[in-house]
Chain A
Amino acid sequence: MIALEKRPQPSQAWSLLTPLVAVVITMIAGGLLFSALGKNPIEAIRTIFYDPLFGEFAFYYRPQLLVKGGPLILIAIGLSLGFRAGIWNIGAEGQYIVGAICGAGVGLAFYPTESAFIFPLMVMAGALGGWAWSMIPALLKVKFGTNEILVSLMLVYVAEQLLASMSLGLLKNPQGFGFPGSRNLQDYASAHNAEIIAGTGMHWGIVAAFIAVIMAYVLLNKHILGFNIRLTGEAPRAARFGGVNPTRLVVFCMGVSGALAGLAGLFEVSGPSGQISIDFNVGYGFTAIIVAFLGRLHPVGILLAGLLMALTYIGGEIAQGTLSLPAAAIQVFQGMLLFFLLVLDLLTNYRIRFGKKGIA
Chain B
Amino acid sequence: MDLSAINPVLLIASLMVAATPLLLAAIGELVVEKAGVLNLGVEGMMIIGAICGFAIAVESSSPLLGLIAAMIGGAVLSLLFAFLTQVALANQVASGLALTLFGLGLSALMGQSYVGVKPPAMAKLDLPILSDLPIIGPILFSHDPVLYFGIGLTAAIWALLKFSRIGLILRAVGENAEAAHALGYHVVRVRIMAILFGGACAGLGGAYISLIRVPQWTEGMTAGIGWIALALVVFASWKPWRVLLGAYLFGGINVLQLNLQAAGIAIPVEYLAMSPYLITILVLVIMSADKSRAPASLGKIFHASQ
Asked if B284 contacts A328 (CB within 8 A), the reply is: no
How long is the Cα–Cα vector from A145 to B268 in the complex, in angstroms? 32
In the complex, chain B residues whose CB is within 8 Å of the CB of A242 = none
Interface size class of B (residues with CB under 8 A): 35 or more
In the complex, chain B residues whose CB is within 8 Å of the CB of A149 = 40, 93
Selecting from A108-116, A217-225, A331-339, the interface stretch reads A331-339
How long is the Cα–Cα vector from A146 to B291 in the complex, in angstroms? 10
In the complex, chain B residues whose CB is within 8 Å of the CB of A309 = none
Interface size class of A (residues with CB under 8 A): 35 or more
Task: Check A162/B305 contact, CB under 8 A, given A144-B288, A155-B277, A334-B101.
Answer: no
Residue interface mask A134-154, B partner, CB < 8 A = 1: 001000100011110111011
Asked if B303 contacts A6 (CB within 8 A), the reply is: yes
Measured CB to CB, the closest approach of chain B to A165, in angstroms, equals: 4
Measured CB to CB, the closest approach of chain B to A13, in angstroms, equals: 18
Asked if A338 contacts B98 (CB within 8 A), the reply is: yes
B280 (CB) vs chain A CBs: closest residue: A154
Q: Which residues 258-306 of B have a CB within 8 angstroms of A?
A: 268, 270-271, 273-274, 277-278, 280-281, 284-285, 288-289, 291, 303-306
Selecting from A187-195, A199-207, A340-348, the interface stretch reads A340-348
Measured CB to CB, the closest approach of chain B to A237, in angstroms, equals: 14
Residue B104 lies at the interface, judged by CB distance under 8 Å to chain A:
yes
Task: Check A328/B105 contact, CB under 8 A, given A4-B303, A144-B288, A154-B227.
Answer: yes
Residue interface mask B168-179, A partner, CB < 8 A = 1: 000000000000
Residue A14 lies at the interface, judged by CB distance under 8 Å to chain B:
no
Q: For the complex, would chain A's binding face be called helix, strand, loop or mixed by DSSP majority?
A: helix
How long is the Cα–Cα vector from A239 to B110 in the complex, in angstroms? 46
Residue B223 lies at the interface, judged by CB distance under 8 Å to chain A:
yes
Q: For the complex, would chain B's binding face be called helix, strand, loop or mixed by DSSP majority?
A: helix
Residue A350 lies at the interface, judged by CB distance under 8 Å to chain B:
yes
Asked if A161 contacts B305 (CB within 8 A), the reply is: no
Selecting from A39-47, A249-257, A260-268, A285-293, the interface stretch reads A285-293
Measured CB to CB, the closest approach of chain A to B238, in angstroms, equals: 14
In the complex, chain A residues whose CB is within 8 Å of the CB of B91 = 342
Asked if A349 contacts B234 (CB within 8 A), the reply is: no
A151 (CB) vs chain B CBs: closest residue: B281
Measured CB to CB, the closest approach of chain B to A93, in angstroms, equals: 12
Task: Check A140/B304 contact, CB under 8 A, given A157-B274, A286-B101, A335-B102.
Answer: no
Asked if B281 contacts A147 (CB within 8 A), the reply is: no
Residue B130 lies at the interface, judged by CB distance under 8 Å to chain A:
no
Selecting from B11-19, B82-90, B196-204, B240-248, the interface stretch reads B82-90
How long is the Cα–Cα vector from A4 to B268 in the complex, in angstroms? 57
How long is the Cα–Cα vector from A334 to B84 in the complex, in angstroms? 17
Asked if B112 contacts A328 (CB within 8 A), the reply is: yes
In the complex, chain B residues whose CB is within 8 Å of the CB of A147 = 231, 234, 284, 288
Given A293-B94, A331-B109, A343-B88; 8 other pairs, CB 8 A cutoff? A153-B224, A154-B227, A164-B270, A328-B112, A328-B219, A335-B105, A338-B102, A360-B187
Q: Which of A150, A293, A329, A336 contacts B234 (CB 8 A)?
A: A150
Asked if A6 contacts B90 (CB within 8 A), the reply is: no
How long is the Cα–Cα vector from A351 to B146 in the complex, in angstroms? 46
Residue A326 lies at the interface, judged by CB distance under 8 Å to chain B:
yes
Residue A90 lies at the interface, judged by CB distance under 8 Å to chain B:
yes
Asked if A154 contacts B224 (CB within 8 A), the reply is: yes
Asked if B291 contacts A158 (CB within 8 A), the reply is: no
Measured CB to CB, the closest approach of chain B to A68, in angstroms, equals: 17
Asked if B305 contacts A5 (CB within 8 A), the reply is: yes
In the complex, chain A residues whose CB is within 8 Å of the CB of B268 = 165, 169
Asked if A140 contacts B285 (CB within 8 A), the reply is: yes
Task: Check A150/B230 contact, CB under 8 A, given A339-B84, A342-B91, A360-B304.
Answer: yes
Asked if B231 contacts A150 (CB within 8 A), the reply is: yes
Asked if B230 contacts A345 (CB within 8 A), the reply is: no
In the complex, chain A residues whose CB is within 8 Å of the CB of B161 = none
Asked if B285 contacts A339 (CB within 8 A), the reply is: no
Asked if A154 contacts B101 (CB within 8 A), the reply is: no
Q: Which residues 216-233 of B have a CB within 8 angstroms of A?
A: 219, 223-224, 227-228, 230-231
Asked if A326 contacts B90 (CB within 8 A), the reply is: no
In the complex, chain B residues whose CB is within 8 Å of the CB of A343 = 83-84, 88, 90
Asked if B108 contacts A328 (CB within 8 A), the reply is: yes
Task: Check A165/B270 contact, CB under 8 A, given A154-B231, A331-B104.
Answer: yes
In the complex, chain A residues whose CB is within 8 Å of the CB of B105 = 328-335
Residue B133 lies at the interface, judged by CB distance under 8 Å to chain A:
no
Residue B76 lies at the interface, judged by CB distance under 8 Å to chain A:
no
Residue B39 lies at the interface, judged by CB distance under 8 Å to chain A:
no
Asked if A90 contacts B97 (CB within 8 A), the reply is: yes
Interface centre among B88, B112, B234 (most CB of A within 10 A): B88
Asked if B93 contacts A88 (CB within 8 A), the reply is: yes
Could you show 26 A-B contacts with beta carbons less than 8 Å apart? Answer: A90-B97, A140-B281, A150-B234, A150-B281, A151-B284, A154-B231, A155-B277, A157-B277, A158-B274, A161-B270, A162-B270, A165-B270, A169-B268, A286-B101, A290-B98, A328-B219, A331-B105, A331-B108, A332-B102, A332-B105, A335-B101, A335-B103, A338-B98, A345-B90, A346-B90, A360-B304
Residue A359 lies at the interface, judged by CB distance under 8 Å to chain B:
yes
How long is the Cα–Cα vector from A336 to B77 in the complex, in angstroms? 12
Asked if B101 contacts A6 (CB within 8 A), the reply is: no
Residue B3 lies at the interface, judged by CB distance under 8 Å to chain A:
no
In the complex, chain B residues whose CB is within 8 Å of the CB of A329 = 105, 109
Residue B159 lies at the interface, judged by CB distance under 8 Å to chain A:
no
Interface centre among B84, B88, B98, B224 (most CB of A within 10 A): B98
In the complex, chain B residues whose CB is within 8 Å of the CB of A349 = 89
